[in-house]
Chains A and B, each alone.
Chain A
Amino acid sequence: MLVSYNWLKDYVNLDLSAAELADKITKSGIEVEIVESLNKGITGVVVGHVLECVQHPNADKLRVCKVDLGEEEPVQIVCGAPNVAAGQKVPVAKVGAVLPGNFKIKKAKLRGEASNGMICSLTELGVEAKLVPKEYSSGIFVMPSDAEIGSDALAYLNLDDYVLELGLTPNRADCLNMLGVAYEVAAILDEELRLPEVQVETSGERASDYVSVTVDAKEDNPYYGAMIIKNITIAPSPLWMQNRLIAAGIRPINNVVDITNYVLLEYGQPLHAFDYDRLGSKEILVRRAKDGEEMVTLDDAKRKLGANHLVITNGEEPVAVAGVMGGATSEVQDNTTTVLLEAAYFEGIRVRAASKDLGLRSEASSRYEKGIDRNRVYDAAYRAASLMAEYAGGEVAEGIVEAGERLVSEGKAEVTKTRINSLLGTEIEAEQISAILKRLRFEFDVQGENYIVTVPTRRPDITIDADLVEEVGRIYGYDRIPTTYLFSEGRPGGLTPYQAARRKVMRYMEGTGLYQAVTYALTTPEKSTAFTFSEEQENVHSIKVSHPMSEERSTLRGTLIPQLLEVLKHNHHRSIDDVGIFEISSVFFAHEQSLSVLPEEKTYLSGALTGLWSIHPWQGEKKKMDFFVVKGILEGLFEELGLQSRISFESKSLPGMHPGRTAVVKLDSIAAGFVGQIHPGTQKDWDLNESYVFELNLDQLLGASVEPTIYQTLPRFPSITRDIAVVVDKNLPAGDLNTVIHEAGGQLLKESSLFDLYEGERMEEGKKSLAFSLKYYDPERTLTDEEVTKAHENILRSLEERFGASLRK
């Protein structure tokens, strides 16, 4: 809502600047987003009188004018506007004047003729082109003949005004009109409110002799009223009205249309003027449109209507889409003499349906959608009729021809002083509360502690005590509410064990050199299931939103990896090729085709790594990312979580992954994720370098119960370390050997670590050699050589038996 500061003065005394007013309105609950000065930096523009206007001797398109600026001598000005003529009063920028854009007017010679100033168009004075009345759109602006020569032209043009742009929340549709804003401002400033005085002199005729009104859709249109104004002369509306419309962002058209728009802005009541003589009947019938029914609207577009839309008809044909736009056939034209003025209450939901389907949003439709004050329909109709009588020469026929219930009853809300103060934390006195309710112009009774408030129909947002608490509080001033500190007893805050563990995981991942990424949950159906590691994930349905913005953001993801690959790609395309990232986010699984319950949500920890893992060039160190880098990161994580002994990695072929370089990660033998290299084919599809990924079900990992840490006595006896190197089949996983080593090593074997792997040419075809360092230790005593030898030999024997291993010589 654009509010003209000058216009507002009609209703409320304003002894403060526009900026100060804006600040007060904002503090009291309606945010003033912008205070715009209509003067865009203009000085030195006065009213001039064109005394003489002749063709320029050397230029077809220029005229040489003698203009009286109220000074001793008239000045000569060369003007290029086609509509300039002798006798006009025009805005003139004098020599030395400044126009918007810091455009300075200087003495000039145009094709040999002196020009001492400039006759201005409205756009040159900073008015938006789309708001300039059509007759002046390609020329200078012509002012009323009574404008005083030499006086400041800005005042005539209302360019000394300020416009306050209100950012209205949905509950404050009452301020979508000047009277509503006036009520608000009068309450804030504690000033008197002056409402327009409307007096209509009616002719002897009765409106009901001209038209009948029937509503066939009472739910959509609870009230419809029609007035008849005869003997209208279509002409431009008065300059003050045009100025106010322009300030409010509406282009002036002619007196009748301008008046309906003016009253719309003033009362918030949409009105429509039909050319009565071109209505085609003496009847108004409001009904739902028929499917496929067509009409041409004011903008000359043919509109296809449906049963969802409400139309005004002449009994047969639609003449307007209710609350949205009138029809072309009954449009007010220059020769219109009799106007049928519509003042109706249409339900917002019906107006919204049509405005949405037809793609037409107007000042009227948006007000119906947000709700108007039904009890103001009459006042607005009479206000418009009186203005038409005054400024269009109209004669108003008596009465409003109507259908439906015009008046609705006012609601009640109650509140107590105690409730107000206990909710706000204030100590507002009873007299103050009464004073505030009076400022708001709410009628109320006091019964004991209780205020029983009659809520005016302009404020349907007030229904319960809390609403009244807010009204009292905001007028009292939120800056006067004290600051208190709340202390709950004996309840410390804190993270849950899960939340604390999740933070620990984040810190660990960051410590390994990975950066945390946050990506979008919505993706394509294909990508949403592109990576899986368990059968459970394969038996799910994709979850699509019903109205996606695009296919790219249509489906909830069941894996984080595709979005992480997108991140690698984004960076790769910017030549950032050493990247390690991780993300912790939700993934979604539906176990039914069409959701009847919420889908399953799990938290995954996933990562993607590519390029160099470490680089220290001047010392010649460079390490490429590989499977074991990523595996090492995960092993470190499992150790952090106390899960290392329960985790196993098993080679597995998974979709999108390198078949020989991918492992499923199992926790207690249940798949909990995977790690591996992206399949070269997938890598190419994604336009990536060699990349590695991992994905873990974090809920599963953090949900595993872990034994509390118990201190282990430090060794008091020496340990004995022996190495063992065996030759086995090339395909035998090292992890299997390790398992058997531990089984066979018994109590004494405390640690085993692989320190050598050899598959070179000195090895028999199909064989490899693995060397482990084994550490034996007994916490109770010093081990003997014999004992260790026995255990060691037992291990070798088991390896021979189980895997056909042989001791490497």
Chain B
Amino acid sequence: MQDRLQALKEEALLKIEQASDLKALQDVKVSYLGKKGPITEVLKGMGKLSPEERPVVGAYANEVRDAITSALESKVAELEQAVIEEKLKKESIDVTLPGRPVRQGNAHPLTAVIEEIEDLFLTMGFTVAEGPEVETDYYNFEALNLPKDHPARDMQDSFFITEDILLRTQTSPVQARTMEKHHGRGPVKIISPGKVYRRDDDDATHSHQFMQIEGLVVEENVRLSDLKGVLETFAKKMFGEDRKIRLRPSFFPFTEPSVEMDISCFKCGGKGCSICKHTGWIEILGAGMVHPNVLEMAGFDSKKYTGFAFGMGPERIAMLKYGIDDIRHFYTNDLRFLKQFKKA
């Protein structure tokens, strides 16, 4: 009897081994382990055995059954795994195909530059001040020490609307307005960005509309050396830690002394190249100590308060930073241009 079971076991295990799909296994299961299967048949004949033989054969029969069951299970697992693998194989994709695009625009490069500058000065305790683009002659000129017949008005031919109202030629009127609101009490610490307008013919380097960003600090005991500190911080953050700055005396009607700030060329490091016109220096901004007349007109005691102001052109900075060769690109808004400033 045991021989018979042994043969059945070997026969079943071989069939399991040879089964190629789940259905064949199911057949094996039914035919060997089912109620009408040969093992059951064998066990039915147990009654003919001696009481000594019976438990031995019974145990062996169970052993055979367990072996077949276990072989079945592992074969099922094996086949299932194969099916899954087959499925995954069929599901494989070309991962080099392009992904589904997510629409994402970006800020205008001038906005990017202005926000970068704003953020820098916000961390230095400045606030952002804004004012109207259409201004009175008073705030645009007179309050900034540019009386009606001042020769420097020639420097900025303006779009007048009436004799007294014009498109602002600079963001400085925001300074005048802000100082006035302080009623002679400091500190004032602002940065003011915005659009300005001048009667220039549009060409590669001129635009009748452009941006400015200006800063103003009015406090007791503010010195030119403090301006130097602020500008140096700005230059290093904006153009690189190893930038050097240079102040040159200059002239603006609303500051005295007035300076222009150059930074060491970020392209060549000061050796001289086409960007810095072989001087090693790049002119970045104009600045100075607020003219006493400007302080007085805004209601500050110029004996007690001093201040500094600085102003720069975001277009110029963007042109230098990104190597843009024509100012008109900023206002034409060719999509091929705008798209280049994603990481700006």
- Residue A464 at the chain B interface, CB threshold 8 Å: yes
Name which residue of chain A comes closest to B157, CB basis: A547
- Residue A212 at the chain B interface, CB threshold 8 Å: no
Q: In the complex, are the beta carbons of A571 and B335 less than 8 A apart?
A: yes
- Residue A708 at the chain B interface, CB threshold 8 Å: no
- Residue A26 at the chain B interface, CB threshold 8 Å: yes
Residues of B within 8 A of A619 (CB): 100
Of the candidates B134, B201, B339, the one whose C-beta lies within 8 Å of that of A599 is: B134
Taken together as a complex, chains A and B put the C-alpha atoms of A506 and B251 apart, in Å, by: 37
- Residue A579 at the chain B interface, CB threshold 8 Å: yes
Q: A171-B251, A512-B103, A576-B335 are in contact. Are A484 and B115 (CB under 8 A)?
A: no
Residues of B within 8 A of A464 (CB): 256, 292
A171, A576, A614: residue with the most chain B Cβ atoms closer than 10 Å: A171
Q: In the complex, are the beta carbons of A170 and B152 less than 8 A apart?
A: yes
- Residue B132 at the chain A interface, CB threshold 8 Å: yes
Q: In the complex, are the beta carbons of A521 and B195 less than 8 A apart?
A: yes
Residues of B within 8 A of A580 (CB): 103, 105
Contact residues of A between 507 and 542, Cβ < 8 Å to B: 509-522
Question: How many Å from the CB of B294 to the closest CB on chain A?
Answer: 11
Number of CB contacts from chain A to chain B under 8 A? 247
- Residue A370 at the chain B interface, CB threshold 8 Å: yes
- Residue A570 at the chain B interface, CB threshold 8 Å: yes
- Residue B257 at the chain A interface, CB threshold 8 Å: yes
Q: A470-B257, A516-B338 are in contact. Are A481 and B226 (CB under 8 A)?
A: no
Name which residue of chain B comes closest to A582, CB basis: B105
Taken together as a complex, chains A and B put the C-alpha atoms of A594 and B259 apart, in Å, by: 40
Q: In the complex, are the beta carbons of A556 and B334 less than 8 A apart?
A: no
- Residue B185 at the chain A interface, CB threshold 8 Å: no
Contact residues of B between 74 and 124, Cβ < 8 Å to A: 97-98, 100-101, 103-108, 110-111, 115, 118, 121-124
Of the candidates A171, A506, A576, A586, the one whose C-beta lies within 8 Å of that of B133 is: A586
Taken together as a complex, chains A and B put the C-alpha atoms of A588 and B195 apart, in Å, by: 14
Q: In the complex, are the beta carbons of A546 and B162 less than 8 A apart?
A: yes
Q: In the complex, are the beta carbons of B161 and A488 less than 8 A apart?
A: no
Residues of B within 8 A of A670 (CB): none
Residues of A within 8 A of B243 (CB): none
Q: In the complex, are the beta carbons of B250 and A518 less than 8 A apart?
A: no
Name which residue of chain B comes closest to A500, CB basis: B128
Question: How many Å from the CB of A400 to the closest CB on chain B?
Answer: 29
Q: A29-B250, A470-B249, A486-B222 are in contact. Are A549 and B199 (CB under 8 A)?
A: yes
Q: Which listed segment binds A: B13-21, B38-46, B56-64, B325-333?
A: B325-333
Question: How many Å from the CB of A114 to the closest CB on chain B?
Answer: 43
Question: How many Å from the CB of B142 to the closest CB on chain A?
Answer: 15
Contact residues of A between 414 and 471, Cβ < 8 Å to B: 422-426, 461, 464-467, 469-470
Of the candidates A349, A553, A556, the one whose C-beta lies within 8 Å of that of B149 is: A349
Contact residues of B between 247 and 280, Cβ < 8 Å to A: 247-251, 256-260
Count residues on chain A whose CB falls below 8 Å from chain B CBs. Answer: 95
Contact residues of B between 128 and 157, Cβ < 8 Å to A: 128, 130, 132-136, 149, 151-152, 154-155
Residues of B within 8 A of A479 (CB): 246-247
Q: In the complex, are the beta carbons of A493 and B225 less than 8 A apart?
A: no
- Residue B232 at the chain A interface, CB threshold 8 Å: yes
Q: In the complex, are the beta carbons of B161 and A515 less than 8 A apart?
A: no
Taken together as a complex, chains A and B put the C-alpha atoms of A549 and B127 apart, in Å, by: 35
- Residue B160 at the chain A interface, CB threshold 8 Å: yes
Taken together as a complex, chains A and B put the C-alpha atoms of A598 and B139 apart, in Å, by: 12
* Chain B interface helix/strand/loop/mixed: mixed
Q: In the complex, are the beta carbons of B111 and A488 less than 8 A apart?
A: no
Q: In the complex, are the beta carbons of A478 and B247 less than 8 A apart?
A: yes
- Residue B316 at the chain A interface, CB threshold 8 Å: no
Q: In the complex, are the beta carbons of B187 and A488 less than 8 A apart?
A: yes
Q: In the complex, are the beta carbons of B134 and A598 less than 8 A apart?
A: yes
Taken together as a complex, chains A and B put the C-alpha atoms of A520 and B338 apart, in Å, by: 16
Question: How many Å from the CB of B288 to the closest CB on chain A?
Answer: 9
Q: In the complex, are the beta carbons of B125 and A491 less than 8 A apart?
A: yes
Residues of B within 8 A of A56 (CB): none
Q: In the complex, are the beta carbons of A549 and B160 less than 8 A apart?
A: no
Q: In the complex, are the beta carbons of A466 and B292 less than 8 A apart?
A: yes
Q: In the complex, are the beta carbons of B106 and A515 less than 8 A apart?
A: yes
Taken together as a complex, chains A and B put the C-alpha atoms of A478 and B225 apart, in Å, by: 9
- Residue B237 at the chain A interface, CB threshold 8 Å: no
Interface string of A540-571 (1 = CB under 8 A from B): 00011111110001001000000000010011
- Residue B165 at the chain A interface, CB threshold 8 Å: yes
Name which residue of chain B comes closest to A599, CB basis: B134
- Residue A61 at the chain B interface, CB threshold 8 Å: no
Residues of A within 8 A of B226 (CB): 425, 484-486
- Residue A494 at the chain B interface, CB threshold 8 Å: yes
Taken together as a complex, chains A and B put the C-alpha atoms of A461 and B100 apart, in Å, by: 66
Question: How many Å from the CB of A349 to the closest CB on chain B?
Answer: 7
What would 9 A/B residue contacts be, using CB atoms closer than 8 Å? A172-B251, A369-B151, A466-B256, A511-B104, A516-B107, A518-B333, A521-B209, A571-B334, A601-B133
Which A-B residue pairs are the 6 nearest by beta carbons? A425-B225, A513-B103, A29-B249, A425-B223, A470-B257, A169-B251
Chain A interface residues toward B at CB < 8 A: 26-29, 31, 169-172, 348-349, 369-371, 422-426, 461, 464-467, 469-470, 473-474, 478-479, 481-488, 491-496, 499, 503, 506, 509-522, 543-549, 553, 556, 567, 570-571, 574, 576, 579-582, 585-586, 588, 594-596, 598-599, 601, 613-616, 618-619, 621
Given contacts A478-B248, A483-B228, 10 further A-B contacts (CB under 8 A): A27-B248, A473-B257, A484-B225, A493-B121, A516-B107, A518-B330, A521-B133, A570-B333, A576-B334, A616-B100
